[in-house]
Amino acid sequence: MSVPGGGAAAPRLKDVAELAGVSVKTVSNVVNGTVPVAEATRERVQRAVDELGYQPNVTARRLRTGRSGVIALAFPELPSPYFAELAVEVIAAARRVGITVLMDDTGGDPAAELRIASGLGDPMIDGVILSPLGLDRAALLSRSREIPLVLLGEADLGPVADRVHIDNVAGAREVTRHLLDEGYRRIAAIGWQDPAPRATAEQRLAGYREALADAGLPLDPELLPPVRAYFRPDGASAMRRLLRLPERPDAVFCFNDLLALGALRAAHEAGLRVPRDLAIVGFDDVEEAAYAIPSLTTVAPDKRLIAELAVRCLEERIERRYTGPGRRITPGFRVVVRESSTLAR
Amino acid sequence: MSVPGGGAAAPRLKDVAELAGVSVKTVSNVVNGTVPVAEATRERVQRAVDELGYQPNVTARRLRTGRSGVIALAFPELPSPYFAELAVEVIAAARRVGITVLMDDTGGDPAAELRIASGLGDPMIDGVILSPLGLDRAALLSRSREIPLVLLGEADLGPVADRVHIDNVAGAREVTRHLLDEGYRRIAAIGWQDPAPRATAEQRLAGYREALADAGLPLDPELLPPVRAYFRPDGASAMRRLLRLPERPDAVFCFNDLLALGALRAAHEAGLRVPRDLAIVGFDDVEEAAYAIPSLTTVAPDKRLIAELAVRCLEERIERRYTGPGRRITPGFRVVVRESSTLAR
DNA sequence: ACCTTGTATTCTCACGTTGTAGTAGCTGTA
DNA sequence: TACAGCTACTACAACGTGAGAATACAAGGT
């Protein structure tokens, strides 16, 4: 394979056409396969393409087709490990199909989310993948431009867009059941939000309740300290409140891993040993969960699959291969059992 | 502000030109500021631009200028938190100046690194930011295409490209000195590589030696267990070897945070309390370092600044505002003191 | 031999932008 | 008045591609 030196210009359709002795459009037809080309011609062109190492000029193609090949990806909290890890997967999945991704951070602000969902956040984007937090159905219906949109996460914003999300109720139920199976009986939950619970909080609480009900255990409101947000400090302070109760819990289900890591730290500071004195489980399976001390039992969504599905959905809409109503896609999850919830092994 | 509904086409230079009663090129000149435009005209055009909400069509501009607005960013180990965090900053910095970033993972393979550094890794990229691991000077000189290139990290590959990196020797020296100041005397180092040390290992070892020498302490080769790579398990197994020594170290300087987190875990498993029985410090200040139990003292490069400088350098080369020999840019660092190295507070 | 039908290929143009070359209009000087 | 020299603007072409219309050609039916 010979690589052209220094300033060698990239070969164009025209160069290939001259070498193969056909017109530019015929080469274009061979490359794109839009129009049938006679076998002999196709072969001759293909040889010329290979010989010159021709690669289509993406920019020119985009100008011609009117698409930019860029999509926006928006999360409420990009520095959060779960979103960051998911973002990496979305970028990788998009790249595999020749799409580049612009990242946005909405801060969970409904107005910002609406802007993004309307395609007004970045110039020249073909579609949007959004993980909404504050946005509601009415606002989403009111958007001024209908750009292809895929939603990630728990919030049900109606049939306007496709949605990819795992079954949060089931995930919460399974991991709570795991705690029950391990013999824990007084199980607290960290992650409830009091004035205005998000969909996440509602669904994970529902799963937790179901598991308790299945086991015939009562729901003690004292074991549901509300939090402001879902970061480590929120988990830590909720944990400290739980530890001040007259009758302490023997296990805690945290609605995400950051809360769990904060809770872990608070437990550690209080001199408790996890899981001997207290079990802690999380949700999301962020990378750090595997390396925490002790390592954290958690609900693990398949982030790669979620990303793959979201990108594929969006692509179908952009290329208008699918134009129907919003689809709901629910990939599975696993409960990953680690040290923080297993007493005797 | 009125937003055009549904299928409203984006305004073009031509639309602005018609509204303002000038030629298309004049609008272009106003928008780009390349050629001076009379004040009255400029104002009229600007009003038309605002009224229509004109935004330049990036794709067309790129086709015309021959640039793609895309750069490649390549790391040896993308899932590593340090690289991932730096990547996020590079992406953000690039975006601020309208550049999008394609990520590559070289695995540290010299051939892959050479491909990337020659601009052959991705089609149509304007420049490359590369964190080399296996690449050497000779290989870099031999690259077949001279695409604008900025190197990140310790390796000195000659004046072919710009280079952004912190002073590793100083960082290692400072953090070792911190351990000495805290009263630790038998200080081990984890991160040396025996058959073929990388530049990172050499420079961080050099700083460690300097600090010991300054304190008049000998260098005990037993306290330098070599590692294969820079991940948690390597740190853990090196730590276990150190703990089997007849005379145990009372502190460990790990050449990156992952090694330190692994070492922390091994120490924990051996029943040692950090920092009472053993101090541990790292290098890189990955996010997890702040949340480890105990939180980790480490050398913190300013990742945002590094990213900013790298992107700015590369942009200057792409736009040919700078065409001289490779520059060396050395932003500062901080030693962030946390729990893992402070005995009595 | 002529027309029809169909397939394979070419021609022409447009996407929105910017660089180059050129023109109009003004000012100042001979 | 004529003209050089300047500024401010315009006209045109080109970047590489893809869509659609137009054309060449071959085969088959009458």
For residue B261, the chain A residues in CB contact (below 8 A) are 291
What CA–CA distance (Å, rounded) separates B9 from A221?
55
Tokens for A106? 């909405």
**CA contacts within 13 A on the Cβ side of B257:** 26
pLDDT tens-digit series, residues A234-293: 999 999 999 999 999 999 999 999 999 999 999 998 999 999 999 999 999 998 899 888
What CA–CA distance (Å, rounded) separates A155 from B150?
43
Nearest CB to A124; choose among B58, B95, B291: B58
Cβ of A232 and B100 within 8 Å?
no
pLDDT tens-digit series, residues B82-93: 998 999 899 999
A120 touches chain B (CB under 8 A): yes
> Position of tokens 């990378």?
A287
Q: Which of residues 298-327 of A touch strand C (CB under 7 A)?
A: none
Nearest CB to A123; choose among B55, B68, B70: B55
Alpha-carbon radius of gyration of chain B: 26
Tell me, what's the pLDDT at B82?
Answer: 95
Q: Which residues of B40-60 are buried (b: 16+ CB within 10 A; e: fewer)?
A: ebbebbbebbeebebebbbbe
Which 8-state DSSP code applies to residue A66? T
Alpha-carbon radius of gyration of chain A: 26
Tell me, what's the pLDDT at A4?
Answer: 38
Tell me, what's the pLDDT at A8?
Answer: 61
Nucleotides of C under 7 A from a protein CB: 7-12, 14-20
Asked whether residue B25, judged by its CB, lies under 7 Å from any atom of the DNA or RNA strand D, the reply is yes
A142 touches chain B (CB under 8 A): no
A144 touches chain B (CB under 8 A): yes
Cβ of B95 and A102 within 8 Å?
yes
pLDDT tens-digit series, residues A27-59: 999 998 888 889 999 999 999 999 999 989 989
CA-nearest residue to A101 within chain B is: B100
CA-nearest residue to A289 within chain B is: B288
What CA–CA distance (Å, rounded) separates A37 from A131?
44
Nucleotides of D under 7 A from a protein CB: 7-12, 14-20
Asked whether residue A25, judged by its CB, lies under 7 Å from any atom of the DNA or RNA strand C, the reply is yes
Nearest to A319 by CA among A21, A71, A103, A133: A71
Tokens for B208? 């460690």
Instruction: Indicate if the pLDDT at residue A2 is higher than 60.
Output: no
A42: which nucleotide lies closest, measuring CA to C1'?
C8
Nearest CB to A291; choose among B8, B91, B261: B261
Neighbours of A87 (CB within 10 A): 23
> Position of tokens 């729901």?
A219
DSSP for B162-187?
EEE---HHHHHHHHHHHHHHTT--SE
Q: Is the peptide bond before A225 cis (omega within 30 degrees of 0)?
A: no
Tell me, what's the pLDDT at B174?
Answer: 98
Nearest CB to B57; choose among A102, A124, A232: A124
A53 touches chain B (CB under 8 A): no
Would you tell me which residues 154-183 of chain B have a C-beta closer than 8 angstroms to some C-beta of chain A? Answer: none
| Whether the Cβ atoms of residue A302 and residue A333 lie closer than 8 Å to each other | yes
A63 CA → C12 C1’, Å: 18
Nearest CB to A63; choose among B60, B120, B288: B60
The residue among A12 and B120 whose pLDDT is bigger is: A12
Cβ of B59 and A57 within 8 Å?
no
Question: What three-state secondary structure class fits B76?
Answer: coil
Q: Which residues of B152-190 are buried (b: 16+ CB within 10 A; e: fewer)?
A: bbbbebeebbbbbbbbbbbbbbbbbbbbbebebeebbbb
Nearest to A337 by CA among A291, A281, A272, A274: A281
What CA–CA distance (Å, rounded) separates B272 from B236?
13
Neighbours of A253 (CB within 10 A): 33
- Geometric angle at alpha carbon B250, from B246 and B252, rounded to 5°: 105
pLDDT tens-digit series, residues B160-196: 899 999 999 999 999 999 999 999 999 999 999 988 8
pLDDT band at B8 (very low <50, low <70, confident <90, very high): low
B126 CA → C16 C1’, Å: 21
Neighbours of B11 (CB within 10 A): 18
Sequence-distant (≥ 6) Cβ neighbours of residue A165 within 8 angstroms: A151, A152, A153, A154, A306, A328, A329, A330
Burial group, residue B227, by CB count within 10 angstroms (0-12, 13-18, 19+): buried
* A298 phi and psi angles, rounded to 5 deg: -160, 165
pLDDT band at B31 (very low <50, low <70, confident <90, very high): very high
Asked whether residue A31, judged by its CB, lies under 7 Å from any atom of the DNA or RNA strand D, the reply is yes
Instruction: Indicate if the pLDDT at residue B74 is higher than 90.
Output: yes
A261 touches chain B (CB under 8 A): yes
Question: What three-state secondary structure class fits A127?
Answer: strand
Most B CBs within 10 Å, among A13, A54, A59, to test the B interface: A59
* B21 phi and psi angles, rounded to 5 deg: 70, 35
Provide the percentage of residues in chain B whose pLDDT is more than 70: 97
Mean pLDDT, residues A132-142 taken together: 92
Question: What three-state secondary structure class fits B129?
Answer: strand
Mean pLDDT, residues B110-133 taken together: 91
What CA–CA distance (Å, rounded) separates B37 from B60?
23
Tokens for B161? 């490209």
- Which residue intervals of chain B are DSSP H helices? 13-20, 24-32, 39-52, 58-65, 81-96, 110-117, 137-141, 168-181, 199-214, 232-243, 257-269, 287-291, 303-318
Tell me, what's the pLDDT at A291?
Answer: 84
Mean pLDDT, residues A178-194 taken together: 96
pLDDT tens-digit series, residues B264-280: 999 998 999 999 999 99
A62: which nucleotide lies closest, measuring CA to C1'?
D17
Angle in degrees, 0-180, between the axes of helices A257-269 and A81-96, rounded to the nearest 10: 150
B23: which nucleotide lies closest, measuring CA to C1'?
D10
Residue B102 identity: L
For residue B60, the chain A residues in CB contact (below 8 A) are 63
Asked whether residue B8, judged by its CB, lies under 7 Å from any atom of the DNA or RNA strand C, the reply is no
